Amino acid sequence: MTLIANIVGARPQFIKAGPISKALATAGFDELLIHTGQHYDPLMSEHIMDDVGLRQPDVNLGVGSGSHATQTSGMLEAIEAVLLDYPIDAVIVYGDTNSTLAGALAATKLGILTSHVEAGLRSFNRRMPEEINRVVTDHLSDLLFAPTENAMSHLADEGLDGRSQLTGDVMVDALHSIDLDQIDTPAWSAEPYYSATIHRAENTDDPARLEAIVEALDRLHLPVRLLAHPRLRKRLMTYGIEPTRSLQIHDPLPYAEMLATVRASQGLFTDSGGLQKEAFILRVPCVTLRGETEWPETLHGSWNTLAGPEDDLEGLMSTVRTSETTSPFGDGHAAQRIVSALGERLDSDSGMD
């Protein structure tokens, strides 16, 4: 028996782990699914897991919210205890959250083979907590699975090419597993609208910046349907910011419904990494409310534009886009490649080849 621990905790990780979990089962590996509890609202966790076919976690560490140090150290301690309790052969961590960092640190310190899925992404903005998590996790991990050529070149620049492999992006696998034509969208989607999400600390935690973004979206000429992360709702309340015109705040949607809702919209305003890519693949115009992106491939053909609340957001949405199609994020078989590379490495470590 070979036991692989899959460590997840936040919404985008449930999506990434879905295809990997299926590929592990197909390859005959046993899986221990560990949920750190970073995201605990059912709308942010259970509903998303159901959509991507991720089973109930075997262990939920219930760590919840806190400052970066409190959250990360709580996870580190709790993950180490679980990894000591089970005969784990390898650990897989995903993306760039505090759960990723805690998982990689706990596992590598115990000498367990550690894989990082979505390695090599860089914003080169060290004020983002995610950037710190990415860099540290890449340098800790034994196997680095990069979604794009660009990510591969970042890893090479940091001397990590010996541990890196280009696999494509598991989020493409997840997207391909859903037939969006079969998915219902909310009743309000019958009329034209823009879709939106805002959750990055750089946008939500500075009251002046958040107010400027809300005002800019509120001025647009179509309803803006903002599927709000709990962080955003909390900040709007704390700062007393209330949209009064176009901007409508809704609860987050499950994964499949979110994709279908973005696809049916006239355009997406976001600061999410995953959604920038999904909009690109679905050919929905996207304006990213940030100064940089970890997914520069999406800027190709102007499908995605970086902008701030001071810019002409509606003008940017209607920019002419190329009809040329590119697939910089892979062919939808990333999970299979990752699991077979992991299997080969485990075989070679145990002297089986």
**Residue 279, CA distances (Å) to 76, 90, 121, 269, 286 in order:** 34, 33, 18, 10, 6
User: Among 9-17, 19-27, 159-167, 240-248, which window interacts with ligand UD1 (CB under 6 A)?
Assistant: 9-17
Q: Please state the closest distance from residue 292 (CB atom) to ligand UD1, in A.
A: 15
Q: Please state the closest distance from residue 238 (CB atom) to ligand UD1, in A.
A: 10
Q: Please state the closest distance from residue 42 (CB atom) to ligand UD1, in A.
A: 8
| Site map (CB under 6 A) of ligand UD1, residues 212-251, x = contact | -----------------xxx--x-----------------
DSSP designation for 181: G
Q: Are 77 and 105 in contact (CB under 8 A)?
A: no
Kindly state whether residue 41 participates in binding ligand UD1, applying the rule CB under 6 A.
Answer: yes
Which CB, 35 or 39, lies closer to ligand UD1? 39
**Sheet harboring 194-196: ordered strands across?**
247-250, 224-227, 194-196, 268-270, 286-288, 304-306
At CB < 8 A and 24+ separation, what contacts does 58-64 make? 58/32, 58/33, 58/34, 59/32, 59/33, 59/34, 59/35, 60/35, 61/34, 61/35, 61/36, 61/37, 62/37, 63/9, 63/36, 63/37, 63/38, 64/37, 64/38, 64/40
Of 305-344, which residues contact ligand UD1 (CB under 6 A)? none
154 as an active site residue: the answer is no
Q: Which of 39, 47, 199, 229 is catalytic?
A: 199
Which member of 6, 12, 91, 224 binds ligand UD1 (CB under 6 A)? 12
User: Among 37-45, 155-163, 259-267, 307-315, which window interacts with ligand UD1 (CB under 6 A)?
Assistant: 37-45
Of 68-127, which residues contact ligand UD1 (CB under 6 A)? 96-98
Kindly state whether residue 65 participates in binding ligand UD1, applying the rule CB under 6 A.
Answer: yes
| Site map (CB under 6 A) of ligand UD1, residues 180-209, x = contact | -------------------x----------
Question: In angstroms, how far apart are the furthest CA atoms of the chain?
Answer: 65
Kindly state whether residue 252 participates in binding ligand UD1, applying the rule CB under 6 A.
Answer: no
Residues contacting 318, CB < 8 A, separation 6+: 285
**Sheet harboring 143-146: ordered strands across?**
59-60, 30-35, 3-8, 90-94, 113-117, 143-146, 164-166
Which member of 39, 225, 263, 277 binds ligand UD1 (CB under 6 A)? 39
Number of residues engaging ligand UD1 in binding (CB under 6 A): 19
Kindly state whether residue 276 participates in binding ligand UD1, applying the rule CB under 6 A.
Answer: no
Which CB, 35 or 337, lies closer to ligand UD1? 35
Q: Please state the closest distance from residue 234 (CB atom) to ligand UD1, in A.
A: 6
Cite the DSSP H helix spans in the chain.
Answer: 11-26, 46-51, 68-85, 98-109, 129-140, 149-157, 170-176, 201-204, 207-218, 230-239, 255-263, 273-282, 313-317, 334-349
Which member of 11, 35, 116, 154 binds ligand UD1 (CB under 6 A)? 11
The pair of three-digit structure tokens given for residue 57, joined into one six-digit string: 């976690």
Residues that bind ligand UD1 (CB under 6 A): 10-12, 38-41, 44, 65, 96-98, 129-130, 199, 229-231, 234
Q: Could you give the residue numbers annotated as active site?
A: 199
